[in-house]
Structure 1
Amino acid sequence: MTVAPHAPRRHASRRLQEASLNEAPALLLRRLRGLTSQRGLIWLACVPLALFGLGVFNLSAHAAELPELTLAFLSNNLFIFICAILVIFMNAGFAMVEAGMCRQKNAVNILLKNLIVFALAASAYWLIGFSLMYGDPVVSGWLFIKSTFFFFDPTVTPDMVKDGALVPSVDFLFQVAFAGTSATIVSGLVAERIKFKEFVWFSLILVAFIYPIAGSWKWNAEGWLNKLGFIDFAGSTLVHSVGAWAGLVGAIILGPRIGKFVGGKPMALPGHNMAIATLGCLILWIGWYGFNPGSVLSMNETVPYVAVTTTLGAAGGAISGTLLSAIRGGKPDLTMTVNGILAGLVGITAGCDSYSMVGAWVVGFIAGGLVVLSVAVVDGLKIDDPVGAWSVHGTCGIWGTLAVGLFHQGNGLLYGHGFNQLGLQILGVVAYAIFAIVTSLIAWSVLGGMTGGIRVHESEEIEGLDISEHGMEAYPDFAPSAK
């Protein structure tokens, strides 16, 4: 057998242009005083590019370690990704409903609040909230923090692929969409008289701390309410009531808008554009197909059923809201049809996976009637809720949570399963109400104390927040209106 002679050892490269990628950095360091040469500068410029290439290679090598992507893995992650986008798009619906139901002079302010609130929510939830909601127990059942605390680990593991599980990035995107929804609810209750900066700060506090701590009690597997058996499938209480309680506290502290109550009687302050409010309602209805079916967290046989119960809840709410408004006022009220649809959607959300189709329609129908009555009660208490946000998200969020104890086919009272589930639902409603009220009261009070109050000056409110807060109008081609 012939053995090939060893290749002669090469002396270390003397010329930079002949150096290998491994040799180049050392030569560059030794020749720092000679970096004025053109070729040296070219090599130095190539270092970041080389490092980038190595990084891409490492990512590719990591990806190569994953098993072949399964159909379940791809379909589940694609489904939740689409649902997350639908829920995020609900911000457009909230903006249009709120702006349309409020006065022209405040349209820019309302649109900006609804636009910026998701940016705030995404940042606060990414930085802090996600850790508090899905971390490891610090106070068993009550408080959780991830070991890394900030951010989340986006690593995709082979087990995720094999099990068809959600990758962390998709899971986070879906969860942050819900967090943003909770903050958006507050905007409607404090509309037309709150300072913009104070609203921004409260939104950050809500999404970074209040909402995720509350949510962890149920949606973290180790949460105390989850272990007891409390049910809130997609957030009638966790998202909607928590946001509504926070907004209600703010509305009470702010007081009513100028002209809302005259001689102790509520006066109508009509919205300026019911066309966009109606379109916003339909956008929200469509977005709810991400909200509720997406909460299944996988693409399986439950998804289309949840979509149907969601539809029936909205339909029942629309019908009863319209009928009751016609009975009470003599003519059907479009604002109550809009709020009836939203009330039905909020009401169905807690138990949409466990109701019969008849039960789903009845739950929505009752919610649509409740929203009409709730608006009258709130006015009677002299609380100014410009768009009926408390009645939709608070009253009907509570109803939807309690309805699980009645209409749940596996645990509900009306199906012969006793009062146990209804008792757990009452416990959850009360616990979330106390927590949201106390924490929101502290947050609003501290913000008001630090900034000299959270309400704009009387003259600014009369002029309109578009001019006083932002120096612009939503409809500059039309004559400004102070109505």
Structure 2
Amino acid sequence: MTTALPDTVFGIADTGDTAWVLISAALVLLMTPALAFFYGGLCRGRAVLNMMMMSFAALGTVTVVYLLYGFSTSFGDVLTGRGALGGIIADPLALFGTDQLTATRQIGGHTEVVLWPGTGVPAIAFVAFQLTFAVITVALISGAIAERAKFSTWVVFSVVFVTLVYLPLAHMVWGGGLLSDSADGLAARMFGVTDGVARVAPIDFAGGTVVHINAGVAALVLVFFVGNRLGFGRTAYRPHSIPLVMLGAALLWFGWFGFNAGSALAADATAGLVWVNTSAAAAAAIGGWLAVEWIRDGHATSVGAASGIVAGLVAITPACGALTPVGALGLGVVAGVLSCLAVGVKHRLRFDDSLDVVGVHLVSGLWGTVAVGLLARDSGLFYGHGLAQLAVQTVIALVALVFAAVLTVLIAAALTPLGWRVEAEAEAVGIDQAQHAETAYEPI
């Protein structure tokens, strides 16, 4: 049952800020097709369509879920005050369908709309923006199980995962829940409260925990449930189209400005700082990744440059509003180095994270979230502010990791009767033909 909205949520929209949020939402939406190009190019030619379809499937399923009950589950109590499980989720039915957010009223000759609190942005525009985050989080996971997972099971997983893992975690971090600056949150319990909020507020500007740690640890779980590709450890799985990889990386970088700068929810100086920091970290991470390749392998690769871009973008996501540009450069170069080193671990530990979701998104997501405690200009250790911010950042990163890991294990186990993996013959011949009755390239 939906809940009536209080009069206090109505106001006059700021057209400039609204335009910025809607443009940002469109940029973030573009990131999922961009990811499809990026992942598709990294796959072998006989699996590229299936890989791209997994991203496009997330666009379909997650959009429907989010509009029906997803926004309400993550953010409903911010507008209605009607919680469900306190710091974990809001009431999924309070804003079911989001129709209430389109309400208007006439006051003094002006049209007032439902605004997102503290902004001049209509709540329905905020829904559009947040929807795109949910979509790409699910799509990111697919790269870890490329070339071998059943498409039908993936579709079901996308619905269940966004419902049980993404939406609660978004509430915990951004919706006033357990990992926010709420007086009832973990940070408040660690260091106390000032004026009704945590004295040391957790910082996750645009999704280090909600998106990247979440997707990275879920990817790791699914790798163990689905198993390694045929020939893993003996076969060289070479990208079938490096130009597609580069195109995908370029479009991801472009879309990421919406992802990060759009999270300011205003066309202001904060958005400008975030834009600069986002580009700085991505650029520096290219250098960090390629430096490792040069030293270790004797050459720098195009795929390495593309992967470095993504590693830097991932790392700066939680930190982009709290760092100086110089801090963003430092964060980015370390992210490039760490992720480049991390992608080789799968071969030593023999787990087939096919497209390095764990090595890039989990590792750089953890680094970016924790490094805020070191590099934040107003609260970081390197700026003389002590260990409190670092402690809070470490706690929220670990809680997000454990929460996502435990629930993903339960979901993956529950879906096992559906079958996670295609038949060995279908995998050997090509998953595109077996799962979709199509091939990306006609034989010459």
TM-score range, shorter chain: 0.7 to 0.9
Q: Secondary structure at the match of 2:237?
A: coil
1:192-239: per-residue Cα shift (whole Å, max 9, x none)? 110000001111112222101011111012444432222111011211
1:202-351 residue pairs with structure 2 within 5 A? 202-227=157-182, 228=187, 229-262=201-234, 267-351=235-319
Residues 1:172 and 2:127 aligned together: yes
Compared CA separation, residues 295 and 459, structure 1 to 2 (3 A) = same
| Distance in 2 (alpha carbons) for counterparts of 1:173 and 1:324 | 39
AA partner of residue 460 (structure 1): A
Q: Report how many residues are paired.
A: 404
The sequence identity of aligned pairs, in percent, is 31
Identify the residue that residue 74 of structure 2 maps to in structure 1: 133
Question: Displacement of 1:248 after TM fit?
Answer: 1.3
Question: Displacement of 1:156 after TM fit?
Answer: 4.0
Residues 1:463 and 2:429 aligned together: yes
Q: Unmatched 5+ residue regions in structure 1?
A: 1-65
Question: Displacement of 1:97 after TM fit?
Answer: 0.7
Residues 1:76 and 2:17 aligned together: yes
Q: Secondary structure at the match of 1:472?
A: coil
Question: Displacement of 1:159 after TM fit?
Answer: 6.7
| Distance in 2 (alpha carbons) for counterparts of 1:259 and 1:438 | 29
| Distance in 2 (alpha carbons) for counterparts of 1:440 and 1:160 | 35
Preserved contact between residue 113 and residue 122 of structure 2 (Cα < 8 Å): no
Identify the residue that residue 88 of structure 1 maps to in structure 2: 29
| Distance in 2 (alpha carbons) for counterparts of 1:220 and 1:314 | 28
Question: Displacement of 1:190 after TM fit?
Answer: 1.0
Question: Displacement of 1:135 after TM fit?
Answer: 2.3
Question: Displacement of 1:128 after TM fit?
Answer: 2.1
Question: Displacement of 1:442 after TM fit?
Answer: 0.8
Preserved contact between residue 96 and residue 277 of structure 1 (Cα < 8 Å): yes
| Distance in 2 (alpha carbons) for counterparts of 1:431 and 1:164 | 29
Preserved contact between residue 288 and residue 337 of structure 2 (Cα < 8 Å): yes
AA partner of residue 134 (structure 2): A
Identify the residue that residue 151 of structure 1 maps to in structure 2: 97
Preserved contact between residue 114 and residue 123 of structure 2 (Cα < 8 Å): no
1:416-427 residue pairs with structure 2 within 5 A? 416-427=384-395
Identify the residue that residue 41 of structure 1 maps to in structure 2: none
Preserved contact between residue 321 and residue 337 of structure 1 (Cα < 8 Å): yes
| Distance in 2 (alpha carbons) for counterparts of 1:325 and 1:467 | 35
Identify the residue that residue 360 of structure 2 maps to in structure 1: 392
AA partner of residue 37 (structure 2): M
Q: Secondary structure at the match of 2:65?
A: helix
Identify the residue that residue 198 of structure 2 maps to in structure 1: none
Q: Secondary structure at the match of 1:138?
A: coil
1:381-414: per-residue Cα shift (whole Å, max 9, x none)? 1111221111111100000000100000111111
AA partner of residue 225 (structure 2): I
AA partner of residue 90 (structure 2): F
Identify the residue that residue 195 of structure 2 maps to in structure 1: none
AA partner of residue 457 (structure 1): E
Identify the residue that residue 454 of structure 1 maps to in structure 2: 420
AA partner of residue 207 (structure 1): V
Residues 1:440 and 2:408 aligned together: yes
AA partner of residue 244 (structure 1): G
Q: Secondary structure at the match of 1:110?
A: helix
| Distance in 1 (alpha carbons) for counterparts of 2:74 and 2:55 | 23
Identify the residue that residue 47 of structure 1 maps to in structure 2: none
| Distance in 2 (alpha carbons) for counterparts of 1:126 and 1:188 | 25
TM-score normalized with structure 2 length: 0.88
1:349-364 residue pairs with structure 2 within 5 A? 349-364=317-332
Question: Displacement of 1:149 after TM fit?
Answer: 5.0
Q: Unmatched 5+ residue regions in structure 2?
A: 1-9, 78-82, 106-111, 188-200
Preserved contact between residue 294 and residue 303 of structure 1 (Cα < 8 Å): yes
Compared CA separation, residues 250 and 301, structure 1 to 2 (3 A) = same
Question: Displacement of 1:147 after TM fit?
Answer: 5.0
Q: Secondary structure at the match of 2:90?
A: strand
Identify the residue that residue 45 of structure 2 maps to in structure 1: 104
Larger radius of gyration: 1
Question: Displacement of 1:138 after TM fit?
Answer: 2.2
Preserved contact between residue 212 and residue 365 of structure 2 (Cα < 8 Å): yes
| Distance in 2 (alpha carbons) for counterparts of 1:410 and 1:301 | 16
| Distance in 1 (alpha carbons) for counterparts of 2:124 and 2:95 | 16
TM-score normalized with structure 1 length: 0.81
Aligned CA RMSD, in angstroms, stands at: 1.8
Question: Displacement of 1:332 after TM fit?
Answer: 0.9
AA partner of residue 235 (structure 1): G
Compared CA separation, residues 146 and 387, structure 1 to 2 (3 A) = closer
Q: Secondary structure at the match of 1:473?
A: coil
